[in-house]
Structure 1
Amino acid sequence: MDSCFIDVTVEFLSVAFHNILYYTSVYPRSIFETRRKYSMVVYHSTHPEVNQYIDLCLKSVAECLKSGQLSRVVFAVTGESHHPVIKFTFDLKKSDHFDETVDAYLVQCEQNLRAFCLSLSSLTSKFKELPEDSSFTIHLHTNESNAVALETNPDLEDFPLVEVKEQTQEAERIIPIRQFSIKNYNFDTYIGL
C-alpha cells in the first residue's frame, strides 16, 4: 500500500473526527483548540483521553490500510446505552482506473479535503438535538483475517478490538457530505440520521 495514501488518509480522518466532535458538541467547546489545516481553521481536542482513543483508532486504521482491507470507517455519536444517534460514514473503494500523473502534488486532494471540512461545518444545524449524555465510538469495517492480525499486533495490545456482529440499521435520513478521491481510492462520505 502506498505510504503517502495512508498518511494523507489517517491525517484527514483525524481532522474529520476532531471536527465532528467539535460541531456535534459531544464535549464542551472549551476543550478544543484551533489549528490550520487544508488552508482553513480546524478544531482539535486537547483532552488527553479523547485524543488517545482517537490516536489508537487511527493506528488501527493505518494497519488496515497497509493490508488493503478497510472498506468503511464509521464515527458514531451515541446516546443512551451507547446507541448510535448519528453516524458519519467514510466508505473507501479502490479505483481500478487510477492515473499516477493526475494530481501528483495532491493539490486537488487538499481542495477536496477542505471542501469536506467546509461541508461539515455547514451542517451544524443537523446536530442541535443530540442527547446531553452523548459519547462516540469509531467502527472499522474490515475482514476477519485482518482483525486477527490487528489483535496480534504488539503496538495495539492495549487497545482490544471488539467484533460486532453484522448489523444493518435503517437510517431515517442520509445526508451526503462529499465524494472525493485520495490517490487511488474513492471516498464517499455521508451522515446517517
Structure 2
Amino acid sequence: MSHPTWHCGKNGFFALRSRSMKSSQTVRHDIVNLLCDFLQVWIHQILYRRQLYPHGIFVLRKKYSVPVYMSNNPEVNQYIAQFVLTLRPMLEKGDCKSVSVVVTTATQRPLERFVLEIDSIIRTLDVPLDKLLASEATEPLADFEQYLRACLLKMAACDTILQRNPPHCRFWFSIEMTDEGPPSGQGTGPDVDWIPAEPDVSSDAFAWANLIPLKTIPMDLFKINTYVLEASKKGKQAALD
C-alpha cells in the first residue's frame, strides 16, 4: 500500500538547535538530534554535488571527520533548517517513513530522487515517548557517527555513477508519512505550508530506470536506508522534453 507524500513550502525560516552533550552517556534524544543534524548535511551534499546551486555558495568543512560542502548562503541554510525542524516531531513519534530530495528539469520532468528511508520501531514500543527518548541508547554517539561518515563517503562517489543533469534544474523536498493524511499538529503553522506531492514524482510509482543503493545505517531506534532513483532520460534529452 502506498502512502501519501507531502512538500514543505518555503514561506518562513527557523533555526535548528541541538543541545550539547553533558555527559558521555548517549540517550535516545541524542540519536534524534544526530539524525536531524545528518539530514541537513545530507541535503547540502545533494545540492552541491548535483549543482542545484552555484558551487560558489558552498564552503569545504568537516563533519563526522569527513570533508563536506556546506552552503554559506543564509537563506538556503535557513530553508534547509526549517524543513528539518518540521521533521523532528515526526521522527520522535515514528511518523515519518521517508525523506526525499527530488530533482527535476525546469519543466518539472523528474530526473533523480534521493531517498532517506526511515524504519522506526518507536510506534511498536509500549513506552511513554518522554521516557523512551530519555533512555540509554544501545551504542555511544561516536559509533553512530561512524555509520554516517561511511554514508557521506559513499555519496561523494555519486557524481561518477549518476548521469549529468541538464542546466537550470529545480528541486523540492518531500516526506512520506506512515499513516494516511497530512502532518497534523507536527511542525505545522503559519510558517509551514504542507501540500500533497505528485505521486508520480515523489514516490516509487514513477517508472525510475535505475536504483542506486548508497548505505544502510543502523541508528538504535531507526534503521536508515539511503539510495538514489534515476530517470532514463537525462542531460540535453531531458531538457528538450
In structure 1, runs of 5+ residues without a counterpart are: none
In structure 1, the partner of 2:23 is none
Higher deviation after alignment, 138-147 or 81-90: 138-147
Higher RCO (CA-CA < 8 Å; seq separation 6+): 2
Measure the CA separation in 1 of the matches of 2:109 and 2:228.
16
Give the counterpart of 1:162 among 173, 176, 195: 195
Paired residues, number? 187
Bigger proportion of residues as helix = 1
TM-score, normalization: structure 2?
A: 0.71
Structure-2 change in CA distance of 1:25 and 1:165 (3 Å) = closer
Q: Kindly state the Cα deviation for residue 165 of structure 1 after the two structures are TM-superposed.
A: 5.4
What is residue 115 of structure 2 aligned with on the other side?
A: 89
1:117 aligns with 2:143: no
User: Which region of structure 1 is more displaced relative to structure 2, 181-190 or 79-88?
Assistant: 79-88
Letter in 1 for 2:184: V
Which residue identity is paired with 1:52?
A: Q
Pair 1:174–1:55, CA change in 2 (3 A): same
Which protein shows a greater Rg? 2
CA RMSD between the two structures? 2.3
Greater alpha carbon shift after TM alignment, 115-124 vs 166-175: 166-175
- Unpaired segments ≥5 residues, structure 2: 1-26, 126-135, 231-241
String of CA shifts for 1:141-188, please: whole Å, max 9, x gaps. 11346612237x44xx21201112544112100000001111211011
Matching residue of 1:60: 86
Over the matched positions of the two proteins, sequence identity in percent amounts to: 26
Higher alpha-carbon deviation: 4-13 or 88-97: 88-97
Task: Extract structure 1 runs of 4+ deviating beyond 6 A.
Answer: none
Say yes or no: does 1:148 pair with 2:201: no
**Match of 2:211, as an amino acid?**
I
The letter for the 1-side match of 2:228 is I
Q: How does 1:14-29 map to 2 (within 5 A)?
A: 14-29=40-55
* TM-score where L is the length of structure 1: 0.87
The whole-number CA distance in structure 2 between the counterparts of 1:178 and 1:81 is 31
